[in-house]
Structure 1
Amino acid sequence: MGSFSKTLNSFLKKKSIKYGLPFLLVVLGGSFGLKEFAQLRYQFSKVSVVRPEEMKKYGIEMKKPGEVTIDTEFEKVKKLDIDNWEQVRGPRPWEENIN
């Protein structure tokens, strides 16, 4: 019995076991703990679905799925005059908004 405790003590005194094992336990345990806390955040968040009748109440109308397509947007872009334009500098945050 004395030889077992002697080898166990010498094994536990190694630096890789003394410092490495607790480090690995904290890193791996922290990752699983963080996963659980993140899951709670999303599980109990107060996200609600906006219903169409609520949108109409505030004057917001949704477009029907067939109204906007890539082709209709491309036709709008083709009509734009991209050859004649003027570069206008936007106001800086510290400048007054002069229009």
Structure 2
Amino acid sequence: MRIPQALAKNKTVRFGVPMLLLIVGGSFGLREFTQIRYDSFKLHGKKIKDAAFDDWKNIRGPRPWEEPKSLQEQQRKSA
């Protein structure tokens, strides 16, 4: 009877053990989520080696006060 009461009053058991469980459990959880990220990248990987960069031109995005479509169309035509 004294052991459960003593464990309930012990700060290490009340706070330390749950904290360690969260840290270790969180580590395993994050590992699973990051593995999903890398697996999806393998499936939908970018094929940079197939892309043609010879005719590439940098077109800047519009500023807040500019009209987005007309500015980009002008830049594409002048390229």
Give the TM bin, normalised by the shorter chain.
0.5 to 0.7
In 2, Cα distance between equivalents of 1:33 and 1:59: 40
- Residue 8 of structure 1 is matched in structure 2 by 4
- Go from structure 1 to structure 2 and tell me whether the alpha carbon gap of 1:59 and 1:30 turns closer, same or farther (over 3 Å shift): closer
**1:81-96 matches, cutoff 5 A:** none
Q: Supply the RMSD in Å over aligned alpha carbons.
A: 2.0
Deviation at 1:10, TM superposition (A): 1.2
Of structures 1 and 2, the larger Rg is shown by: 1
TM-score with structure 1 length normalisation?
0.44
For 1:42, give the aligned amino acid. Y
Give how far 1:13 is off.
Answer: 1.6
Higher relative contact order (CA 8 A, sep 6+): 2
Q: Aligned residue pairs: how many?
A: 52
The structure 1 segments of at least 4 consecutive aligned residues displaced by more than 3 Å after TM superposition are 48-51
> Could you list the runs of 5+ residues in structure 1 that have no partner in the other structure?
61-99
> Which of 32, 37, 40 matches 1:36?
32
Q: State the TM-score, normalizing by the size of structure 2.
A: 0.54
Aligned AA for 2:23?
V
Structure 2 gaps of 5+ residues are 55-79
> How many percent of aligned residue pairs carry the same amino acid?
33
